[in-house]
Amino acid sequence: MNEMLGNQYFMVRRYCDALAEFEEVYRKDPSNKPIRRKLIICYIKANRIDSAFELFTKLVEEDLEFIIKTDPIFDDCPCPEIIYELENSIETNNQDEKNLALGMLWLFCDIKNSIKYFSELPSDRIIDNILKKLQETKNHLKHER
């Protein structure tokens, strides 16, 4: 029930309502990748960037291709809309948080733009590891074509 209701809220872009439902689904089934993907987006919209990043890093470690192979139309991914809002918002309390959110969101749409935003963040072990994985994947995808 929670997942269906969460999906309904997500489809009408009521992210905070969807978040509560998806958190309940995640508590019961933390292996559910589609729910984790939607939770990342909901956390970003709720300005809970740390929570989004925690889920994001786990998903990157576990299955980077799952994120990269998101189909914005089929998966009803609102990332293009949210990216547009974030990139065009002048106000920001924290540029690093904005870049982190954009790096995560862009990975659902375009790995090159994701790398660009992650590259603008201060270097640390986690960010460096993500950048390394993204660069390797980008190079691998380039050679597949």
Q: Report pLDDT for 143.
A: 63
What's the pLDDT band for 72 if we cut at 50, 70, 90?
confident
What contacts 66, CB < 8 A, 6 or more positions away?
33, 37, 59
Q: Report pLDDT for 82.
A: 94
Selected from 2.60.120, 1.20.1280, 1.25.40, 1.10.3470, the CATH number assigned to the domain covering 2-144 reads 1.25.40
Its pTM surpasses 0.85 = yes
What's the pLDDT band for 92 if we cut at 50, 70, 90?
low
- List, for residues 26-61, the tens digit of each pLDDT value: 999 999 999 999 999 999 999 999 999 999 999 999
Summary mean pLDDT of the chain: 92
Question: Which phi and psi (to 5°) does residue 131 adopt?
Answer: -60, -40
Burial of 44 (0-12, 13-18, 19+ CB in 10 A): buried
